[in-house]
Amino acid sequence: MITPVILCGGSGTRLWPLSRKSYPKQFSKLIGDQSLFQMSASRVHGDGYAQPLVLTNADFRFIVAEQLTELGIDPGAVLIEPEGRNTAPAILAAAFYLIAKDPEAMLLVLPSDHNVPYAALFSKTVQKGKQAALAGDMVTFGIQPTRPETGYGYLELETQSVDGEVVKLKRFVEKPDSTAAQAMLDTGTYLWNGGIFLFKAQVIIDAFKAHKPDLIEPVKMAVDDANTDLGFLRLAVEPWGAAEDISIDYAVMEAAQNLSVVPFCGNWSDLGDWDSVWREGEETNNGLVTSGAAMGIDCENTLLRSEAKGQELVGIGLHDIIAVAMPDAVLVAHKDRAQDVKLAVQALKEKKASQAMQHPRDHRPWGSFECLYMGKRFQVKRIVVKPGGILSLQSHVHRSEHWIVVEGTAKVTIGEDVKLVGENQSVYIPVGDKHRMENPGKVPMVLIEVQTGSYLGEDDIVRYEDVYARE
């Protein structure tokens, strides 16, 4: 059996304003009805695959669990990284965890944010690499290039692959300029580096021992001293923090000799920027791609995307333009500058604008909330609590709250008083009173919260009890 290892801790900035640090692109429905993470998990679910192992961080652990539950997929384990240390420590941690359970464990390492529409072809390609992996090779999967792309790294093959069969890897190539990219495309012996790997756990551990031995001790200790928390496995903080922040390519792959490549000839995209989202979208006419409440008039080779209900986005006479509208931010850029969207994030950070990192909808283990209006000494929020969701027992030092239920039924605790609050009913929580809200029903519960006070920040919370074990 092959164990999928899904790396799910990144927070890309080139898809801002949709992708932000608080809710990155892998959890969004960029293409189709599933998130990119769900598409990745579905792709490696079924015959020939064991339960997936997911590596993510504490902020995303409940999102991971919820999105897998929606698919009916039970993860073998969800490992929580105390902080981001890049792909090398993450993959090594997965190898140590799996080999302790099965000395013959085989890992299929894949990102959580790629679009690969043909799952059957992908699995067939993985099976082609299995024999080489069993023989002790570290197998990577290269993507057949369709254009002289400068945003990807490349794999140089020893020889051209016949019918997509396994060949030896000659070297990894950094992202090229346009001239070099065209030259590599013309030779036929270069593939895009998709960041997907297949190897036995012992083989990758031996590779780290040979080429990056300083990672062995801290990562193994982080796994050995990990703590179970509500079904998740938290890697030990101190040894994990001592591990070098380094990618798997730099740590091991570029120095290793036992490397093979399997070409993948199906459609693939890392959806790394808005230009790639446009390329993968369904064109209406003249290269116009729209999403949500968006429309174009006399537009060519343009992406128009609205992510807010009731917000109409209309483009007129646009050529080679990207326009993405969120409730709290709008991006307008030329398609040639898609790789530079990260500059907008950097500029907003310097401005200390919350839009740089914070998504307008704040996702929590119990549901989500979003700010509808912020005024002087008051704030209005829309809160959605999932069936069975329970907020922490808490109080506030600086604000009071009014809750108005608009959908479903809320079970509300204020001090020693516990009562049910139905649609069109409201309650008042004075400053300093202990309170809690939960949804005892079978459908989502929606309420409007009006906060009033001298300070309305999310850190004005004194937490007494929390079923989700948050600090």
Q: What is the pLDDT along the chain (471 residues), one digit of tens a residue?
A: 899 999 998 777 899 999 998 899 999 998 888 999 999 999 999 889 999 999 999 889 889 988 999 999 988 899 999 999 999 999 999 999 999 999 999 999 999 999 998 889 999 999 999 999 999 999 999 998 888 988 889 999 888 777 778 889 988 988 888 898 998 888 888 999 989 999 999 999 999 999 999 999 999 999 999 998 777 999 999 999 999 999 999 999 989 999 999 999 888 888 889 999 999 888 777 999 999 999 999 999 999 999 988 899 999 999 999 999 999 999 999 999 998 999 999 999 999 999 999 988 888 889 999 999 999 999 999 999 999 999 999 999 999 999 999 999 999 999 999 999 999 999 999 999 999 999 999 999 999 999 999 999 888 999 999 888 776
Ranges of CATH 2.60.120.10 domains, the chain: 365-465
Enumerate the CATH 3.90.550.10 domain ranges in the chain, comma separated.
Answer: 2-264
d(CA 93, CA 96): 5
Asked whether the beta carbons of 278 and 289 are under 8 A apart, the reply is: yes
Q: Does an H or E element contain 39, and which? A: helix 36-43
76 class by beta-carbon count within 10 Å (0-12 exposed, 13-18 middle, 19+ buried): middle
Phi, psi dihedral angles at 63 (to 5 degrees): -65, -45
Residue 403: the pLDDT is: 97
Contact 225, 185 (CB under 8 A): no
What pLDDT, on a 0 to 100 scale, did the predictor assign at position 471?
A: 64
The C-alpha angle 421, 426, 431, rounded to 5 degrees, equals 110
H or E element, residue 280: helix 274-280
Instruction: State the DSSP H helix or E strand holding residue 361, giving kind and residue range, or none if neither.
Output: strand 361-364
Question: Residue 276: helix, strand or coil by DSSP?
Answer: helix
Domain covering 365-465 in this structure, CATH number: 2.60.120.10
pTM of the full structure: 0.89
Structure tokens at 339: 């790789």
Strands 106-111 and 2-7, by their bridges, are: parallel
State the burial class of residue 454 (Cβ atoms within 10 Å of its Cβ: 0-12, 13-18, 19+): exposed
How far apart CA 16 and CA 340 sit, in angstroms, is: 10
- In this structure, what are the phi and psi dihedrals at residue 94, rounded to the nearest 5 degrees? -60, -40
Q: What is the pLDDT of residue 266?
A: 83
Burial 217-237 (b: 16+ CB within 10 A, else e): ebbbbbbeebeeeeebbbbbe
What does the pLDDT read at residue 269? 87
The CATH class of 2-264 is alpha beta
* E-state strands within 204-319: 227-229, 232-234, 259-264, 288-291, 294-297, 302-306, 313-316
Closest CA to 461 of 431, 440, 439, 427: 431
Give the Cα separation of 183 and 157 in Å (integer): 14
pLDDT of res. 161 = 75
Backbone torsions φ then ψ of 49, nearest 5 degrees: -115, 140
User: In terms of C-beta distances under 8 Å and separation of at least 24 residues, what long-range contacts does 288-295 make, across chains too?
Assistant: 294/323, 294/325
Q: Smallest Cα–Cα separation from 428: which of 446, 451, 457, 411?
A: 451
